Amino acid sequence: MIDAIHLERDRPVVISTNDIKNGTVLNLDGQLWTVIWFQHHKPGKGNTVVRTKLKHVLSGKVVDKTFNSDVKIESAEVDRRDMQYLYQDGDVYVFMDETTYEQLPIPSEVVGDAKDFMLENQTATVALHEGNPLYIDLPASVELEITYTEPGLQGDRSTGGTKPATLETGREIQVPLFITTGEKVKVDTRSGDYLGRISEK
C-alpha cells in the first residue's frame, strides 16, 4: 500500500498546453519553470500556438518559449501555503506554517526580492515542490513606513519630481517630493514602484 502511494506521488502530472495559465509550474527537462505570462496566438496560416514567458524557479532567469497548441507537457505539483514570516537568521528567513505551526527556514536566494517588502509577522504564500520551497508570493502591494528621505518640499505636488526614500525594510524607492520621513506609503511588490501615500485614519 505504501509503495502504491509512493508511486502515485512520483507519477508526473501531464497537462495540455491549452491548460497553461499564470502560476503554472512546468517541468521541462528536469528544470522547474513558472509561467508568468501566456497568450494563445493563431497565425494567419498554421496551427494555434501558446506563447509564454517562463521564469526559472531557482535562478529567476526569464525566457520566452512557444508551444504548439494542445501538446502534452509535464507540470509540477506545487503546494502553496500561507506562512507567517517570523525572523531573519543570517542568510535564512524563517517562516511558520499557519496551519501546522511548523517552522521552515528558507534561503535568501529563494526569498529573492520579496525580502525588500516583508515585515516580521507578515503573512506570505510559500510555494513548495516535494517539500522544497520554490518562491515567495506577496500581495500585489504592501504598506511600509518611510524611515528616511530628504525633507519634503511644499508646493511640489504638481511638478512630478521624485527623490529616493528608504523603507523600513531597507529597500530604497523613488517617491514624490512631498513625502516625508515617518509617512506610510503603498508600494508595488513586483516593481518596487510607489503607489500612493497612506492617510492616517
What tens digit of pLDDT does each residue of 23-36 get? 888 999 888 898 88
- Look at the chain and report how many structural domains it folds into: 3
| Residue indicated by cell numbers 526559472 | 56
Task: Examine residue 4 and state whether it is found in any structural domain, yes or no.
Answer: no
Q: Are residues 146 and 174 in the same domain?
A: yes
Q: Are residues 67 and 27 in the same domain?
A: yes
Range of the domain at 91: 78-137
Select the highest-mean-pLDDT range: 50-59, 98-107, 133-142.
Answer: 98-107
Using the predicted structure, report yes or no on whether residue 132 has a pLDDT greater than 90.
Answer: no
Query: Please, are residues 77 and 16 in contact by the beta-carbon 8 Å criterion?
Result: no
What value does the mean pLDDT take over residues 119-140? 89
pLDDT of residue 7: 35
pLDDT of residue 12: 67
Q: What is the 3-state secondary structure (H, E, C) of 106-145?
A: EEHHHHHHHHHHCCCCCEEEEEEECCEEEEEECCCEEEEE
Measure the CA–CA gap between 171 and 35, rounded to whole angstroms.
Answer: 27
Is 149 exposed, middle or buried (CB count within 10 Å of its CB: 0-12, 13-18, 19+)? buried
Measure the CA–CA gap between 82 and 125, rounded to whole angstroms.
Answer: 5
Q: Are residues 155 and 119 in the same domain?
A: no
Write b or e for each residue in 93-102: b if 16 or more Cβ atoms lie within 10 A of its Cβ, otherwise e.
bbbbeeeeee
What tens digit of pLDDT does each residue of 144-185 get? 999 999 986 655 555 678 999 999 999 999 999 999 999 999
Task: Examine residue 3 and state whether it is found in any structural domain, yes or no.
Answer: no
Mean pLDDT of the chain: 86
Q: Cα 153 vs. chain centroid, distance in angstroms?
A: 34
Query: Please, are residues 66 and 53 in contact by the beta-carbon 8 Å criterion?
Result: no
Q: Are residues 154 and 125 in the same domain?
A: no
Domain boundary among 95, 120, 137: 137
Q: Are residues 85 and 69 in the same domain?
A: no
Domain at 192, CATH number:
2.40.50.140
Query: Please, are residues 186 and 145 in contact by the beta-carbon 8 Å criterion?
Result: no
